[in-house]
Structure 1
Amino acid sequence: MENLEIPLSDEEFVAIKQRVYKIAGISLSDAKRTLVISRLTKVVRGLGLRSFSDYVDFLDRGADADQVQTFVNALTTNLTRFYREEHHFAHLVDYVGTLIENPPRRGAGGKPRLRIWSAGCSTGQEPYTIALALIDAYPQLKRWDFRILATDIDTNVLKTASAGIYKKTDLAGLSAQRMAFFENAGPDTVAIPRAIRELIAFKPLNLITEWPFKGPFDVIFCRNVVIYFDRPTQEKLFERMASVLSPSGFLYIGHSENLNSVNSRFDRVGKTIYRPKTAMGRSAA
Protein backbone atom coordinates (compact mmCIF):
# COMPACT_ATOMS: atom_id res chain seq x y z
CA MET A 1 0.00 0.00 0.00
CA GLU A 2 2.84 2.37 0.86
CA ASN A 3 4.21 2.07 -2.68
CA LEU A 4 1.04 3.46 -4.26
CA GLU A 5 1.23 6.97 -5.66
CA ILE A 6 -0.45 9.71 -3.68
CA PRO A 7 -3.43 11.41 -5.40
CA LEU A 8 -2.77 14.97 -6.56
CA SER A 9 -5.68 17.41 -6.68
CA ASP A 10 -5.84 20.37 -9.06
CA GLU A 11 -5.33 22.75 -6.15
CA GLU A 12 -2.28 20.84 -4.90
CA PHE A 13 -0.79 20.74 -8.40
CA VAL A 14 -1.16 24.50 -8.75
CA ALA A 15 0.45 25.02 -5.35
CA ILE A 16 3.45 22.84 -6.29
CA LYS A 17 3.83 24.60 -9.65
CA GLN A 18 3.80 27.98 -7.92
CA ARG A 19 6.46 26.94 -5.42
CA VAL A 20 8.92 25.43 -7.88
CA TYR A 21 8.50 28.51 -10.08
CA LYS A 22 9.18 30.84 -7.16
CA ILE A 23 12.19 28.86 -5.97
CA ALA A 24 13.85 27.90 -9.26
CA GLY A 25 12.04 29.66 -12.09
CA ILE A 26 10.88 26.29 -13.45
CA SER A 27 7.55 26.53 -15.25
CA LEU A 28 5.71 23.21 -15.08
CA SER A 29 3.07 22.59 -17.73
CA ASP A 30 -0.11 20.65 -17.07
CA ALA A 31 1.49 17.76 -18.95
CA LYS A 32 3.95 17.37 -16.05
CA ARG A 33 1.27 16.30 -13.58
CA THR A 34 2.21 12.60 -13.79
CA LEU A 35 5.88 13.49 -13.38
CA VAL A 36 5.11 15.47 -10.22
CA ILE A 37 3.17 12.56 -8.72
CA SER A 38 5.79 9.94 -9.56
CA ARG A 39 8.77 11.95 -8.37
CA LEU A 40 7.32 13.48 -5.22
CA THR A 41 5.33 10.56 -3.83
CA LYS A 42 8.46 8.95 -2.38
CA VAL A 43 9.57 12.29 -0.91
CA VAL A 44 6.19 12.89 0.73
CA ARG A 45 6.05 9.38 2.18
CA GLY A 46 9.64 9.66 3.39
CA LEU A 47 8.61 12.64 5.49
CA GLY A 48 5.73 10.66 7.00
CA LEU A 49 3.13 12.90 5.37
CA ARG A 50 -0.19 11.70 3.98
CA SER A 51 -0.97 14.15 1.19
CA PHE A 52 0.50 16.73 -1.14
CA SER A 53 -1.39 19.38 0.81
CA ASP A 54 0.57 18.37 3.89
CA TYR A 55 3.77 18.54 1.84
CA VAL A 56 3.00 22.03 0.54
CA ASP A 57 2.35 23.17 4.12
CA PHE A 58 5.64 21.57 5.15
CA LEU A 59 7.52 23.45 2.41
CA ASP A 60 5.96 26.72 3.53
CA ARG A 61 6.43 26.29 7.26
CA GLY A 62 9.03 23.75 8.26
CA ALA A 63 11.35 22.80 5.43
CA ASP A 64 15.04 23.55 5.82
CA ALA A 65 17.42 24.30 2.95
CA ASP A 66 18.22 20.63 2.34
CA GLN A 67 14.54 19.70 2.16
CA VAL A 68 13.83 22.52 -0.27
CA GLN A 69 16.76 21.29 -2.36
CA THR A 70 15.27 17.79 -2.36
CA PHE A 71 12.02 19.28 -3.69
CA VAL A 72 13.85 21.04 -6.52
CA ASN A 73 16.05 18.04 -7.34
CA ALA A 74 12.95 15.85 -7.69
CA LEU A 75 11.40 18.15 -10.28
CA THR A 76 14.40 18.80 -12.50
CA THR A 77 14.95 16.85 -15.71
CA ASN A 78 18.43 15.76 -16.73
CA LEU A 79 19.13 14.45 -20.23
CA THR A 80 22.62 14.69 -21.67
CA ARG A 81 25.37 12.74 -23.39
CA PHE A 82 28.95 13.15 -24.54
CA TYR A 83 29.41 15.24 -27.70
CA ARG A 84 25.71 16.07 -27.85
CA GLU A 85 24.99 18.56 -30.69
CA GLU A 86 28.45 18.01 -32.09
CA HIS A 87 28.43 21.11 -34.30
CA HIS A 88 28.82 23.23 -31.16
CA PHE A 89 32.10 21.57 -30.27
CA ALA A 90 33.43 21.89 -33.81
CA HIS A 91 32.63 25.61 -33.70
CA LEU A 92 34.15 25.90 -30.21
CA VAL A 93 37.42 24.31 -31.33
CA ASP A 94 37.66 26.71 -34.28
CA TYR A 95 36.93 29.71 -32.05
CA VAL A 96 39.47 28.78 -29.40
CA GLY A 97 42.00 28.34 -32.20
CA THR A 98 41.65 32.06 -32.95
CA LEU A 99 42.16 32.86 -29.26
CA ILE A 100 45.34 30.79 -29.17
CA GLU A 101 46.71 32.82 -32.05
CA ASN A 102 45.83 36.07 -30.29
CA PRO A 103 44.99 35.66 -26.57
CA PRO A 104 42.54 38.41 -25.58
CA ARG A 105 43.55 38.55 -21.91
CA ARG A 106 45.98 37.25 -19.33
CA GLY A 107 45.24 35.45 -16.10
CA ALA A 108 47.21 33.93 -13.24
CA GLY A 109 50.97 34.32 -13.60
CA GLY A 110 50.55 36.16 -16.87
CA LYS A 111 49.28 33.03 -18.62
CA PRO A 112 46.71 33.40 -21.43
CA ARG A 113 43.25 33.18 -19.87
CA LEU A 114 40.30 31.09 -21.11
CA ARG A 115 37.04 30.82 -19.20
CA ILE A 116 34.01 28.73 -20.18
CA TRP A 117 30.71 28.34 -18.34
CA SER A 118 28.52 25.24 -18.70
CA ALA A 119 25.18 26.37 -17.24
CA GLY A 120 22.89 23.45 -16.49
CA CYS A 121 25.72 20.92 -16.70
CA SER A 122 23.63 17.97 -15.44
CA THR A 123 25.75 14.86 -14.83
CA GLY A 124 28.83 16.43 -16.41
CA GLN A 125 29.00 15.11 -19.95
CA GLU A 126 28.85 18.60 -21.45
CA PRO A 127 31.75 20.23 -19.55
CA TYR A 128 33.87 17.10 -19.86
CA THR A 129 33.26 17.08 -23.61
CA ILE A 130 34.29 20.74 -23.77
CA ALA A 131 37.55 19.97 -21.97
CA LEU A 132 38.29 16.80 -23.91
CA ALA A 133 37.62 18.43 -27.28
CA LEU A 134 39.80 21.45 -26.54
CA ILE A 135 42.72 19.61 -24.94
CA ASP A 136 42.73 17.11 -27.80
CA ALA A 137 42.85 19.92 -30.37
CA TYR A 138 45.19 22.21 -28.42
CA PRO A 139 47.42 20.43 -25.86
CA GLN A 140 49.07 23.78 -25.15
CA LEU A 141 45.95 24.80 -23.23
CA LYS A 142 47.38 22.78 -20.34
CA ARG A 143 49.82 25.66 -19.93
CA TRP A 144 47.08 28.30 -20.03
CA ASP A 145 45.00 29.72 -17.23
CA PHE A 146 42.13 27.59 -18.54
CA ARG A 147 39.12 26.77 -16.38
CA ILE A 148 35.55 25.59 -16.91
CA LEU A 149 32.77 26.49 -14.49
CA ALA A 150 30.01 23.87 -14.53
CA THR A 151 26.81 24.65 -12.63
CA ASP A 152 23.46 23.04 -12.02
CA ILE A 153 20.59 23.54 -9.59
CA ASP A 154 20.32 19.78 -8.98
CA THR A 155 22.85 18.77 -6.31
CA ASN A 156 22.36 15.06 -7.03
CA VAL A 157 23.61 15.28 -10.61
CA LEU A 158 26.56 17.40 -9.50
CA LYS A 159 27.77 14.50 -7.32
CA THR A 160 27.85 12.27 -10.39
CA ALA A 161 29.56 14.97 -12.43
CA SER A 162 32.25 15.61 -9.81
CA ALA A 163 33.08 11.91 -9.55
CA GLY A 164 33.64 11.63 -13.30
CA ILE A 165 32.69 7.94 -13.40
CA TYR A 166 30.34 6.73 -16.13
CA LYS A 167 28.94 3.50 -17.49
CA LYS A 168 30.61 2.23 -20.62
CA THR A 169 27.18 2.30 -22.23
CA ASP A 170 27.28 6.11 -21.84
CA LEU A 171 29.94 6.13 -24.55
CA ALA A 172 27.63 4.53 -27.11
CA GLY A 173 28.01 6.18 -30.51
CA LEU A 174 31.46 7.62 -29.86
CA SER A 175 34.34 6.84 -32.21
CA ALA A 176 37.18 4.60 -31.06
CA GLN A 177 39.42 7.69 -31.00
CA ARG A 178 37.12 9.48 -28.57
CA MET A 179 36.54 6.41 -26.43
CA ALA A 180 40.32 6.24 -25.98
CA PHE A 181 40.16 9.49 -23.99
CA PHE A 182 38.51 7.66 -21.10
CA GLU A 183 40.24 5.52 -18.50
CA ASN A 184 39.00 2.08 -17.53
CA ALA A 185 37.45 2.18 -14.06
CA GLY A 186 35.95 -1.30 -13.82
CA PRO A 187 34.23 -4.03 -15.80
CA ASP A 188 31.38 -1.73 -16.81
CA THR A 189 32.65 1.78 -16.04
CA VAL A 190 35.04 4.41 -17.33
CA ALA A 191 36.60 7.46 -15.68
CA ILE A 192 37.46 10.96 -16.81
CA PRO A 193 41.25 11.45 -16.57
CA ARG A 194 42.31 13.46 -13.55
CA ALA A 195 44.00 16.12 -15.69
CA ILE A 196 40.65 16.81 -17.35
CA ARG A 197 38.67 16.78 -14.09
CA GLU A 198 41.03 19.34 -12.61
CA LEU A 199 40.07 21.85 -15.30
CA ILE A 200 36.45 21.91 -14.15
CA ALA A 201 34.79 23.34 -11.04
CA PHE A 202 31.34 21.88 -10.40
CA LYS A 203 29.16 24.23 -8.36
CA PRO A 204 25.48 24.37 -7.38
CA LEU A 205 23.72 27.40 -8.85
CA ASN A 206 20.11 28.50 -9.08
CA LEU A 207 20.10 30.61 -12.23
CA ILE A 208 17.36 32.95 -11.01
CA THR A 209 19.28 33.92 -7.86
CA GLU A 210 22.35 36.14 -7.52
CA TRP A 211 25.42 34.87 -9.38
CA PRO A 212 28.69 34.72 -7.40
CA PHE A 213 30.78 35.76 -10.41
CA LYS A 214 31.06 38.61 -12.89
CA GLY A 215 32.94 37.04 -15.79
CA PRO A 216 33.91 37.65 -18.44
CA PHE A 217 33.45 34.20 -19.96
CA ASP A 218 34.78 33.55 -23.42
CA VAL A 219 32.06 30.95 -24.01
CA ILE A 220 28.76 30.06 -22.36
CA PHE A 221 26.92 26.81 -22.92
CA CYS A 222 23.26 27.06 -21.83
CA ARG A 223 21.64 24.23 -23.73
CA ASN A 224 18.19 22.79 -23.14
CA VAL A 225 17.84 24.79 -19.93
CA VAL A 226 15.51 27.67 -20.75
CA ILE A 227 12.86 25.33 -22.16
CA TYR A 228 11.86 24.88 -18.53
CA PHE A 229 11.43 28.65 -18.01
CA ASP A 230 8.65 30.99 -19.08
CA ARG A 231 9.28 33.91 -21.43
CA PRO A 232 9.92 36.61 -18.76
CA THR A 233 12.43 34.37 -16.97
CA GLN A 234 14.17 33.57 -20.26
CA GLU A 235 14.46 37.27 -21.08
CA LYS A 236 16.05 38.06 -17.71
CA LEU A 237 18.41 35.09 -17.90
CA PHE A 238 19.82 35.92 -21.32
CA GLU A 239 20.14 39.58 -20.40
CA ARG A 240 22.28 38.56 -17.45
CA MET A 241 24.31 36.17 -19.59
CA ALA A 242 25.02 38.96 -22.04
CA SER A 243 26.53 40.93 -19.18
CA VAL A 244 29.03 38.18 -18.22
CA LEU A 245 29.96 37.06 -21.74
CA SER A 246 33.00 38.56 -23.45
CA PRO A 247 32.00 40.95 -26.29
CA SER A 248 33.78 38.61 -28.71
CA GLY A 249 32.52 35.41 -27.09
CA PHE A 250 29.85 32.89 -28.04
CA LEU A 251 26.68 31.53 -26.49
CA TYR A 252 25.50 28.02 -27.38
CA ILE A 253 21.87 27.08 -26.73
CA GLY A 254 19.76 23.94 -27.20
CA HIS A 255 18.49 22.55 -30.49
CA SER A 256 14.87 23.44 -29.66
CA GLU A 257 15.63 26.95 -28.39
CA ASN A 258 15.72 30.30 -30.17
CA LEU A 259 16.97 33.65 -28.90
CA ASN A 260 15.65 35.86 -31.67
CA SER A 261 12.28 36.51 -30.03
CA VAL A 262 13.61 36.51 -26.46
CA ASN A 263 16.63 38.81 -26.30
CA SER A 264 17.97 41.59 -28.54
CA ARG A 265 21.53 41.52 -27.19
CA PHE A 266 22.64 38.65 -29.43
CA ASP A 267 22.93 37.88 -33.13
CA ARG A 268 22.67 34.36 -34.51
CA VAL A 269 25.85 33.27 -36.29
CA GLY A 270 25.08 29.60 -36.80
CA LYS A 271 22.74 26.81 -35.79
CA THR A 272 21.88 27.67 -32.14
CA ILE A 273 25.08 29.71 -31.90
CA TYR A 274 24.94 33.36 -30.87
CA ARG A 275 27.32 36.26 -30.34
CA PRO A 276 26.87 39.65 -28.65
CA LYS A 277 25.78 42.31 -31.15
CA THR A 278 28.63 44.57 -30.14
CA ALA A 279 31.06 41.96 -31.48
CA MET A 280 29.85 42.07 -35.06
CA GLY A 281 26.92 44.35 -35.65
CA ARG A 282 24.60 42.51 -38.04
CA SER A 283 24.08 38.75 -38.00
CA ALA A 284 26.33 36.66 -40.24
CA ALA A 285 23.73 33.98 -40.79
Structure 2
Amino acid sequence: MEQGEFALSDREFNRVKARVYKEAGIALSEAKRTLVVSRLGKLIRTLRLNSFDDYLDHLERQGTPADAQDFINALTTNLTRFWREDHHFTHLETYVGQLMQRRPRGENGRPKLRIWSAGCSTGQEPYTIALHLLAAFPELKRWDFRILATDIDTNVVAKAASGTYPETELSGLSPQQMALFERAGGGQVRIPAAARELIAFKPLNLMNNPWPMRGPFDAVFCRNVAIYFDKPTQGELFARLGALIVPDGFLYIGHSENLGAGGGNFKLVGKTIYQARAQQKARDAA
Protein backbone atom coordinates (compact mmCIF):
# COMPACT_ATOMS: atom_id res chain seq x y z
CA MET A 1 0.00 0.00 0.00
CA GLU A 2 1.35 3.40 -0.95
CA GLN A 3 1.85 5.97 1.75
CA GLY A 4 -1.32 7.93 2.34
CA GLU A 5 -3.69 5.29 0.94
CA PHE A 6 -6.68 4.20 2.97
CA ALA A 7 -7.30 0.52 3.67
CA LEU A 8 -10.41 -0.86 1.97
CA SER A 9 -12.07 -3.76 3.77
CA ASP A 10 -14.27 -6.28 2.01
CA ARG A 11 -17.31 -4.81 3.74
CA GLU A 12 -16.41 -1.28 2.64
CA PHE A 13 -15.78 -2.46 -0.91
CA ASN A 14 -19.20 -4.10 -0.92
CA ARG A 15 -20.75 -0.81 0.24
CA VAL A 16 -19.00 1.04 -2.61
CA LYS A 17 -20.16 -1.57 -5.13
CA ALA A 18 -23.75 -1.42 -3.88
CA ARG A 19 -23.87 2.37 -4.07
CA VAL A 20 -22.37 2.74 -7.55
CA TYR A 21 -24.64 -0.03 -8.86
CA LYS A 22 -27.71 1.64 -7.40
CA GLU A 23 -26.76 5.11 -8.61
CA ALA A 24 -25.26 4.37 -12.03
CA GLY A 25 -25.84 0.71 -12.87
CA ILE A 26 -22.08 0.07 -12.78
CA ALA A 27 -21.10 -3.43 -11.66
CA LEU A 28 -17.63 -3.24 -10.10
CA SER A 29 -15.54 -6.40 -10.16
CA GLU A 30 -12.78 -7.39 -7.74
CA ALA A 31 -10.32 -6.20 -10.38
CA LYS A 32 -11.48 -2.62 -9.75
CA ARG A 33 -10.48 -2.64 -6.09
CA THR A 34 -7.23 -0.74 -6.67
CA LEU A 35 -9.07 1.82 -8.79
CA VAL A 36 -11.56 2.38 -5.95
CA VAL A 37 -8.78 2.90 -3.42
CA SER A 38 -6.93 5.35 -5.66
CA ARG A 39 -9.84 7.45 -6.89
CA LEU A 40 -12.06 7.55 -3.83
CA GLY A 41 -9.03 7.97 -1.57
CA LYS A 42 -8.50 11.42 -3.10
CA LEU A 43 -12.05 12.41 -2.18
CA ILE A 44 -11.65 11.08 1.34
CA ARG A 45 -8.54 13.20 1.82
CA THR A 46 -10.25 16.27 0.37
CA LEU A 47 -13.13 15.87 2.82
CA ARG A 48 -10.66 15.19 5.66
CA LEU A 49 -12.29 11.92 6.56
CA ASN A 50 -10.54 8.88 7.99
CA SER A 51 -11.87 5.82 6.17
CA PHE A 52 -14.10 4.52 3.41
CA ASP A 53 -16.79 3.86 5.99
CA ASP A 54 -16.63 7.49 7.10
CA TYR A 55 -16.86 8.60 3.47
CA LEU A 56 -19.86 6.41 2.66
CA ASP A 57 -21.59 7.50 5.86
CA HIS A 58 -20.97 11.09 4.82
CA LEU A 59 -22.56 10.51 1.42
CA GLU A 60 -25.60 8.85 2.97
CA ARG A 61 -26.20 11.28 5.83
CA GLN A 62 -24.96 14.72 4.89
CA GLY A 63 -23.41 14.60 1.45
CA THR A 64 -24.45 17.24 -1.06
CA PRO A 65 -25.57 16.51 -4.64
CA ALA A 66 -22.08 17.65 -5.68
CA ASP A 67 -20.53 15.04 -3.36
CA ALA A 68 -22.74 12.35 -4.88
CA GLN A 69 -21.71 13.41 -8.39
CA ASP A 70 -18.02 13.41 -7.40
CA PHE A 71 -18.44 9.79 -6.28
CA ILE A 72 -19.85 8.80 -9.68
CA ASN A 73 -17.29 10.85 -11.60
CA ALA A 74 -14.46 9.16 -9.72
CA LEU A 75 -15.62 5.65 -10.59
CA THR A 76 -16.32 6.11 -14.30
CA THR A 77 -13.70 5.35 -16.94
CA ASN A 78 -13.21 7.65 -19.91
CA LEU A 79 -11.06 5.98 -22.55
CA THR A 80 -11.77 7.33 -26.02
CA ARG A 81 -10.16 8.76 -29.16
CA PHE A 82 -11.09 10.35 -32.47
CA TRP A 83 -12.32 7.89 -35.13
CA ARG A 84 -12.27 5.01 -32.66
CA GLU A 85 -13.61 1.88 -34.44
CA ASP A 86 -13.60 3.81 -37.69
CA HIS A 87 -15.76 1.27 -39.55
CA HIS A 88 -18.73 2.72 -37.66
CA PHE A 89 -18.19 6.13 -39.23
CA THR A 90 -17.78 4.61 -42.69
CA HIS A 91 -21.12 2.85 -42.22
CA LEU A 92 -22.74 6.02 -40.84
CA GLU A 93 -21.55 7.97 -43.89
CA THR A 94 -23.21 5.45 -46.23
CA TYR A 95 -26.43 5.51 -44.20
CA VAL A 96 -26.63 9.30 -44.07
CA GLY A 97 -25.88 9.49 -47.79
CA GLN A 98 -28.92 7.28 -48.39
CA LEU A 99 -31.07 9.41 -46.09
CA MET A 100 -30.09 12.51 -47.99
CA GLN A 101 -31.52 11.04 -51.18
CA ARG A 102 -34.97 10.42 -49.72
CA ARG A 103 -35.57 12.41 -46.54
CA PRO A 104 -38.35 15.01 -46.91
CA ARG A 105 -38.19 18.53 -45.57
CA GLY A 106 -39.46 19.06 -42.04
CA GLU A 107 -41.85 21.66 -40.65
CA ASN A 108 -39.09 24.27 -40.73
CA GLY A 109 -38.42 23.62 -44.40
CA ARG A 110 -35.23 21.67 -43.78
CA PRO A 111 -34.69 17.89 -43.64
CA LYS A 112 -33.96 16.65 -40.12
CA LEU A 113 -31.09 14.44 -38.91
CA ARG A 114 -30.69 13.45 -35.27
CA ILE A 115 -27.83 11.41 -33.75
CA TRP A 116 -27.16 10.59 -30.08
CA SER A 117 -23.74 9.87 -28.60
CA ALA A 118 -24.69 8.12 -25.33
CA GLY A 119 -21.59 7.96 -23.16
CA CYS A 120 -19.71 10.69 -25.02
CA SER A 121 -16.80 10.91 -22.55
CA THR A 122 -14.53 13.87 -23.38
CA GLY A 123 -16.22 14.46 -26.73
CA GLN A 124 -14.09 12.69 -29.31
CA GLU A 125 -16.98 10.50 -30.47
CA PRO A 126 -19.60 13.20 -31.18
CA TYR A 127 -16.98 15.50 -32.68
CA THR A 128 -15.85 12.67 -34.97
CA ILE A 129 -19.47 12.19 -36.08
CA ALA A 130 -19.81 15.90 -36.84
CA LEU A 131 -16.43 16.30 -38.57
CA HIS A 132 -16.82 13.12 -40.62
CA LEU A 133 -20.33 13.88 -41.87
CA LEU A 134 -19.67 17.54 -42.62
CA ALA A 135 -16.58 16.60 -44.61
CA ALA A 136 -18.53 13.98 -46.57
CA PHE A 137 -21.68 16.07 -47.02
CA PRO A 138 -21.11 19.85 -46.80
CA GLU A 139 -24.78 20.32 -47.69
CA LEU A 140 -25.68 19.07 -44.19
CA LYS A 141 -24.99 22.63 -43.04
CA ARG A 142 -28.35 23.47 -44.60
CA TRP A 143 -30.11 20.61 -42.79
CA ASP A 144 -31.74 20.60 -39.37
CA PHE A 145 -28.85 18.46 -38.12
CA ARG A 146 -28.18 18.04 -34.40
CA ILE A 147 -26.12 15.69 -32.26
CA LEU A 148 -26.97 15.02 -28.61
CA ALA A 149 -23.92 14.04 -26.54
CA THR A 150 -24.42 12.80 -22.98
CA ASP A 151 -22.36 11.30 -20.20
CA ILE A 152 -22.88 10.60 -16.52
CA ASP A 153 -19.53 12.22 -15.64
CA THR A 154 -20.07 15.97 -15.38
CA ASN A 155 -16.33 16.67 -15.53
CA VAL A 156 -15.88 15.06 -18.95
CA VAL A 157 -19.02 16.73 -20.31
CA ALA A 158 -17.57 20.12 -19.38
CA LYS A 159 -14.23 19.26 -20.98
CA ALA A 160 -15.96 18.03 -24.14
CA ALA A 161 -17.95 21.23 -24.51
CA SER A 162 -14.73 23.27 -24.71
CA GLY A 163 -13.83 21.59 -28.02
CA THR A 164 -10.08 21.96 -27.41
CA TYR A 165 -7.59 19.09 -27.22
CA PRO A 166 -3.83 18.50 -27.12
CA GLU A 167 -2.33 17.97 -30.58
CA THR A 168 -1.24 14.51 -29.39
CA GLU A 169 -4.92 13.48 -29.63
CA LEU A 170 -4.48 13.47 -33.42
CA SER A 171 -1.81 10.78 -33.33
CA GLY A 172 -2.65 7.99 -35.77
CA LEU A 173 -5.15 9.99 -37.80
CA SER A 174 -4.84 10.37 -41.57
CA PRO A 175 -3.67 13.68 -43.05
CA GLN A 176 -7.22 14.23 -44.32
CA GLN A 177 -8.65 13.75 -40.83
CA MET A 178 -6.00 15.95 -39.19
CA ALA A 179 -6.80 18.72 -41.65
CA LEU A 180 -10.34 18.97 -40.22
CA PHE A 181 -9.03 20.49 -36.98
CA GLU A 182 -7.99 24.07 -36.29
CA ARG A 183 -4.63 24.82 -34.67
CA ALA A 184 -5.17 26.75 -31.47
CA GLY A 185 -1.52 27.34 -30.50
CA GLY A 186 0.32 26.09 -27.45
CA GLY A 187 0.20 22.52 -28.69
CA GLN A 188 -3.61 22.56 -28.82
CA VAL A 189 -6.16 21.90 -31.56
CA ARG A 190 -9.75 23.12 -31.71
CA ILE A 191 -12.91 21.71 -33.22
CA PRO A 192 -14.18 24.15 -35.89
CA ALA A 193 -17.28 26.13 -34.99
CA ALA A 194 -19.37 24.48 -37.72
CA ALA A 195 -18.93 21.12 -35.97
CA ARG A 196 -19.13 22.43 -32.39
CA GLU A 197 -22.42 24.18 -33.06
CA LEU A 198 -24.11 20.92 -34.07
CA ILE A 199 -23.61 19.31 -30.66
CA ALA A 200 -25.48 19.74 -27.38
CA PHE A 201 -23.49 18.31 -24.46
CA LYS A 202 -25.62 17.29 -21.49
CA PRO A 203 -25.01 15.29 -18.29
CA LEU A 204 -27.21 12.19 -18.19
CA ASN A 205 -27.36 9.09 -16.04
CA LEU A 206 -28.59 6.31 -18.34
CA MET A 207 -30.19 4.64 -15.33
CA ASN A 208 -32.64 7.54 -14.98
CA ASN A 209 -36.17 6.68 -15.98
CA PRO A 210 -37.63 8.32 -17.94
CA TRP A 211 -34.97 9.99 -20.05
CA PRO A 212 -35.59 13.68 -20.79
CA MET A 213 -35.15 13.31 -24.56
CA ARG A 214 -37.97 11.94 -26.67
CA GLY A 215 -36.19 11.20 -29.93
CA PRO A 216 -36.49 9.68 -32.35
CA PHE A 217 -32.86 9.35 -33.41
CA ASP A 218 -31.62 8.23 -36.79
CA ALA A 219 -28.59 6.67 -35.15
CA VAL A 220 -27.32 6.08 -31.62
CA PHE A 221 -23.73 5.47 -30.59
CA CYS A 222 -23.55 3.68 -27.24
CA ARG A 223 -20.07 2.20 -27.32
CA ASN A 224 -18.10 0.75 -24.44
CA VAL A 225 -20.74 1.85 -21.95
CA ALA A 226 -22.67 -1.36 -21.35
CA ILE A 227 -19.46 -3.26 -20.50
CA TYR A 228 -19.72 -1.68 -17.04
CA PHE A 229 -23.25 -3.03 -16.48
CA ASP A 230 -24.47 -6.49 -15.58
CA LYS A 231 -26.50 -8.51 -18.09
CA PRO A 232 -30.00 -7.48 -16.92
CA THR A 233 -29.02 -3.80 -16.94
CA GLN A 234 -27.48 -4.16 -20.41
CA GLY A 235 -30.64 -5.73 -21.78
CA GLU A 236 -32.82 -2.99 -20.30
CA LEU A 237 -30.55 -0.25 -21.68
CA PHE A 238 -30.47 -1.58 -25.24
CA ALA A 239 -34.23 -2.14 -25.24
CA ARG A 240 -34.79 1.47 -24.18
CA LEU A 241 -32.38 2.72 -26.84
CA GLY A 242 -34.22 0.69 -29.46
CA ALA A 243 -37.45 2.47 -28.58
CA LEU A 244 -35.86 5.82 -29.50
CA ILE A 245 -34.35 4.84 -32.86
CA VAL A 246 -36.30 5.37 -36.08
CA PRO A 247 -37.38 2.24 -38.00
CA ASP A 248 -34.37 0.99 -39.96
CA GLY A 249 -32.06 3.33 -38.00
CA PHE A 250 -28.82 2.10 -36.47
CA LEU A 251 -27.25 1.40 -33.11
CA TYR A 252 -23.45 1.28 -32.84
CA ILE A 253 -21.94 -0.52 -29.82
CA GLY A 254 -18.47 -1.40 -28.57
CA HIS A 255 -16.35 -4.22 -29.97
CA SER A 256 -16.69 -6.34 -26.81
CA GLU A 257 -20.42 -5.80 -26.32
CA ASN A 258 -23.59 -7.54 -27.47
CA LEU A 259 -27.26 -6.68 -27.08
CA GLY A 260 -28.27 -9.76 -25.09
CA ALA A 261 -31.86 -9.60 -23.89
CA GLY A 262 -32.24 -6.11 -25.37
CA GLY A 263 -31.70 -7.25 -28.94
CA GLY A 264 -35.27 -8.17 -29.83
CA ASN A 265 -35.86 -4.97 -31.79
CA PHE A 266 -32.59 -5.18 -33.72
CA LYS A 267 -30.86 -7.22 -36.38
CA LEU A 268 -27.09 -7.48 -36.70
CA VAL A 269 -25.98 -5.97 -40.02
CA GLY A 270 -22.24 -5.49 -39.51
CA LYS A 271 -19.48 -5.67 -36.94
CA THR A 272 -21.15 -4.25 -33.79
CA ILE A 273 -23.72 -2.47 -35.99
CA TYR A 274 -27.41 -3.18 -35.38
CA GLN A 275 -30.43 -2.01 -37.35
CA ALA A 276 -33.77 -1.30 -35.70
CA ARG A 277 -36.49 -3.63 -36.97
CA ALA A 278 -39.24 -1.60 -38.61
CA GLN A 279 -41.84 -4.39 -38.43
CA GLN A 280 -41.23 -4.98 -34.73
CA LYS A 281 -41.64 -1.29 -34.00
CA ALA A 282 -44.88 -1.21 -35.98
CA ARG A 283 -46.29 -4.06 -33.91
CA ASP A 284 -45.21 -2.36 -30.69
CA ALA A 285 -46.96 0.86 -31.73
CA ALA A 286 -50.20 -0.90 -32.63
Cα deviation per residue 1:40-93 (whole Å; 9 max; x = unaligned)?
101011111000000111111111111100000000000000000000000000
Letter in 1 for 2:26: I
1:119 is aligned to 2:118: yes
Unaligned runs of 5+ in 2: 282-286
1:135 is aligned to 2:147: no
TM-score normalised according to structure 1 size:
0.95
Contact residue 132 and residue 181 of structure 1 kept, 8 A: yes
Letter in 1 for 2:211: W
Deviation at 1:261, TM superposition (A): 5.2
What is the rounded CA distance, in whole Å, between the counterparts of 2:266 and 2:203 in structure 1? 26
Unaligned runs of 5+ in 1: none
Deviation at 1:280, TM superposition (A): 9.2
Deviation at 1:206, TM superposition (A): 0.1
Decide which moves more: 269-278 or 116-125.
Answer: 269-278
**4+ runs of 1 displaced by more than 3 Å?**
none
Cα deviation per residue 1:135-164 (whole Å; 9 max; x = unaligned)?
000000000000000000001111110001
1:205 is aligned to 2:204: yes
What is the rounded CA distance, in whole Å, between the counterparts of 2:130 and 2:278 in structure 1? 27
SS in 2 for 1:82: coil
Write the mapping of 1:113-262 to structure 2, written as runs, cut at 5 A: 113-209=112-208, 210-260=210-260, 262=262
Letter in 2 for 1:88: H
What is the rounded CA distance, in whole Å, between the counterparts of 2:270 and 2:174 in structure 1? 25
Deviation at 1:263, TM superposition (A): 2.5
What is the rounded CA distance, in whole Å, between the counterparts of 2:71 and 2:188 in structure 1? 30
Write the mapping of 1:89-100 to structure 2, written as runs, cut at 5 A: 89-100=89-100
Deviation at 1:187, TM superposition (A): 2.7
RMSD: 1.7
SS in 2 for 1:38: helix
Q: 1:222 to 1:105 in 2, by over 3 A?
A: farther
SS in 2 for 1:160: helix
Q: Which residue of 1 aligns with 2:284?
A: none
Identity %: 62
What is the rounded CA distance, in whole Å, between the counterparts of 2:180 and 2:264 in structure 1? 39
Deviation at 1:279, TM superposition (A): 5.8
Letter in 1 for 2:117: S
Letter in 2 for 1:246: V
Write the mapping of 1:40-119 to structure 2, written as runs, cut at 5 A: 40-103=40-103, 106=106, 109-119=108-118
Letter in 2 for 1:97: G
TM-score normalised according to structure 2 size:
0.95
Deviation at 1:4, TM superposition (A): 1.1
Decide which moves more: 252-261 or 154-163.
Answer: 252-261
